[in-house]
Amino acid sequence: MTVNHQSGQTSFMVWGALCGAIQSKLVFLPAGQCSAVNFISNVYKPSLLAFYDELIYAGMVENYDQLTLMEDGAPIHTAQLSNDWRQSNKIHKLQWPANSPDLNPIKKVWFKLKYMVTNLFNPKKMEELEAAVNYAWDEIPFEH
């Protein structure tokens, strides 16, 4: 996502996960920090594992083996370092065609989130954009 301001544009990557009606907390990474190392440190370790643990606690699954991670073909997702980390943490990744983004259910969520942020807010600063994105994420109804 990007925010326009007088001196130009600033962008960042947003990571989120969902399973049924349960959604993760969002993680924001500045565009220049989207390496596999930073992704593992700032997303996989603290947020993906916490989300998986939340699904276990909610009784949706008994262990990580019952979950499958669906990601797009972004370089931080396909990097060997990311693959090795997922494998060592028993995180199963769905193998699917790289040119089939329509199959990823979170793409529709991102579209709705961007629509809400664009139409409900007019963020001029990064902090305003992050707040608007978090608000929209919390307002999107996730159903079973």
- Alpha-carbon distance values, 49 to 31, 63, 119, 123, 134 (Å): 23, 11, 33, 31, 20
Higher per-residue confidence, 97 vs 94? 94
> What does DSSP assign to residue 34?
-
Q: Is residue 110 packed enough to be buried (19+ CB in 10 Å), middle (13-18) or exposed (0-12)?
A: middle
> What local confidence, expressed as pLDDT, does residue 121 receive?
84
Q: What is the pTM for the complete model shown?
A: 0.84
The pLDDT tens digits of the residues spanning 23-65 come to: 999 999 887 778 999 999 999 999 999 999 999 999 999 999 9
User: Going from the N-terminus, what domains does the chain have, and what CATH number goes with each?
Assistant: 2-139 (3.30.420.10)
Amino acid at site 107? K
Instruction: Tell me what the mean pLDDT of segment 2-12 comes to.
Output: 57
